[in-house]
Amino acid sequence: MSRVIIALAVLGTLSACGGSTDGTYVEGSEAIVNRKGNMVTGKAGPAWTDAEIASNAYGAICGPGQTVSNLQITRTEDGSAKFSATCQ
């Protein structure tokens, strides 16, 4: 029984060390993008500025040659950006 309690305590400590509250930590310049049709949601590391996300820097958010519109960005405590937008 004490082994189970110790294991749970270690797991809880490691979970508390994570970057963001939703469990998906994004490194500095990393971006995770999910796209369904023209709608895009995702998360970008703290190295991404709001202006880079809005301008579709590197074609990373919508793809090369597309523009980002209806952009909404919120920042988490670790500086990562959560965003949603439409690609055109």
- The predicted-structure confidence for 49-86, as pLDDT tens digits, reads as follows 999 988 888 888 888 888 889 999 999 999 999 999 99
Contact 43, 31 (CB under 8 A): yes
User: Is the model's pTM score more than 0.75?
Assistant: no
Tokens at 17, concatenated: 């060390």
Specify the pLDDT at position 57: 81
* Strand partners of residue 83: 42, 73
What's the pLDDT at 24?
65
pLDDT at position 8 over 50: no
Best mean pLDDT range from 14-28, 36-50, 53-67: 36-50
3-state SS of the chain: helix, strand, coil percent to 5?
25, 30, 45
